[in-house]
Structure 1
Amino acid sequence: MEYNKLIDHTLLKPDASLAAVAKLCDEASEHDFMSVCVNPCFVPVVKKLLEGSLVKVCTVIGFPLGATLPDVKVFETKRAVELGADEIDMVINVSMAKAHDYEFIANEINMVKVACQGRLLKVILETCLLTNEEIVACCRAAVKAGADYVKTSTGFSSGGATVEHVKLM
């Protein structure tokens, strides 16, 4: 198995510089990673830097809180696709997950999936803020809505991925 093809090389810090993004792209190209994941403002630059490479351009939607309105997430997604994003990582609305409104979660994911226009959609749950039951229900909602992958965390909350949560998912 080519483990390098499983890596999304990521830089989502709010103070990320253009030089740091360029370095990220160089590293991803050198190691033939699956994708480079950056904030939406860097998508056009990354698309150009990775031209001729097999490395995909990934960006985030509703990041990092997930509290953005669904229609805004749809707009963000459409714009990211226009700018050249190959993959989308969206953050669910954690407040709605805590309220157990999984229909809202599924509908929001489906709306973003449609806006992806065939591109890969990865859904971020922020598992450190959810109970095990909420994690399972959100995973089911994501599958129902057509998500391609489900991810544990943004890295910006109180905790990241745990073995327990990965097994649960």
Structure 2
Amino acid sequence: MPTLTAPDTALARRVDHTLLKPETTTADIEAHIAEAVELGAFSVCVSPSFLPLSIPADADLAVAVVVGFPSGKHTTAVKTAEALEAVGRGADEIDMVIDIGAAKAGRFDLVEADIASVRRAIPAPGVLKVIIESAALADDEIVGACRAAVAAGADFVKTSTGFHPAGGATVHAVRLMKQTVGDAAEVKASGGIRTLADALAMIDAGATRLGLSGTRAILAEAAGASPAPSTPDSY
């Protein structure tokens, strides 16, 4: 397992600090942004309805939003329009959910076409992450979904929404995803990562980005501090 020399910075810069609860308020988002800035996270990942976000001018903080979330059953036209609007309202990164049923049916041509349409809506240097909901897929389906994402021009493949009953990220899925995409894309692990050991295991398996809601507790554990109590989150 890797040792991070400055966990309060090196680990934080891998984190998409995430808040996607349906009951989230504008006040919650404002507090979430402030916490992300304080902790040194790479980005905040939020629902698109909160755009545009008020990010401090001197903050090194990217904005990620979800598209087709959480089911992936939106039409391609809706996902594409959602991504286009989000980018126009300040999103730097888009985390889109594939049609998981299409992947289960082996229709990776449809999965690729869906992703490619959203990709065209995100001009450079915008980043596209593709959520495959790995816990709901068999290994061959994970491989097929990752190959479709790379073929469509995705920058990342991502394990999970954090909302599927099948579960979130696993070391096995992250390792398989990284083996599949190689250097053609990066891997984001998300869903159920609640401890420092979880986070480091995902990085060791090949993840370069982590979707966390309990960021403060994990960074406190990395720094050897006592974390503040946190509210359990499904993400």
TM range (shorter): over 0.9
Deviation at 1:49, TM superposition (A): 3.2
- Give the unaligned 5+ runs of structure 2: 5-9, 178-235
Q: Which residue of 2 is the match for residue 53 of structure 1?
A: 59
Q: Which residue of 1 is the match for residue 153 of structure 2?
A: 146
Q: Which segments of structure 1 move beyond 6 Å, counting only runs of 4 or more?
A: none
Any idea what SS the aligned residue of 2:51 has? helix
Percent same amino acid at aligned positions? 46
Give the number of aligned pairs: 167
Q: Which residue of 1 is the match for residue 18 of structure 2?
A: 10
CA distance in 1, matches of 2:63, 2:111: 25
Any idea what SS the aligned residue of 1:123 has? strand
Match of 2:44 among 36, 39, 50: 36
Q: In the TM superposition, what whole-angstrom CA distance separates every residue of 1:90-126 from its partner, at most 9, and x where no partner exists?
A: 0000011111110111111111111011200000011
- Give the unaligned 5+ runs of structure 1: none
Report the AA paired with residue 92 of structure 1.
Answer: I
Q: TM-score, normalised by structure 2?
A: 0.69
Higher helix share: 1
**Is it true that 1:132 corresponds to 2:119 in the alignment?**
no
**CA RMSD, aligned part only?**
1.1
Superposition pairs of residues 57-68 of structure 1, within 5 angstroms: 57-68=63-74
CA distance in 2, matches of 1:131, 1:160: 14
Report the AA paired with residue 143 of structure 1.
Answer: V
Deviation at 1:43, TM superposition (A): 1.8
Q: TM-score, normalised by structure 1?
A: 0.95
Asked if the contact 2:55–2:61 (Cα under 8 Å) also holds between the matched residues in 1, the reply is: no
CA distance in 1, matches of 2:136, 2:148: 17
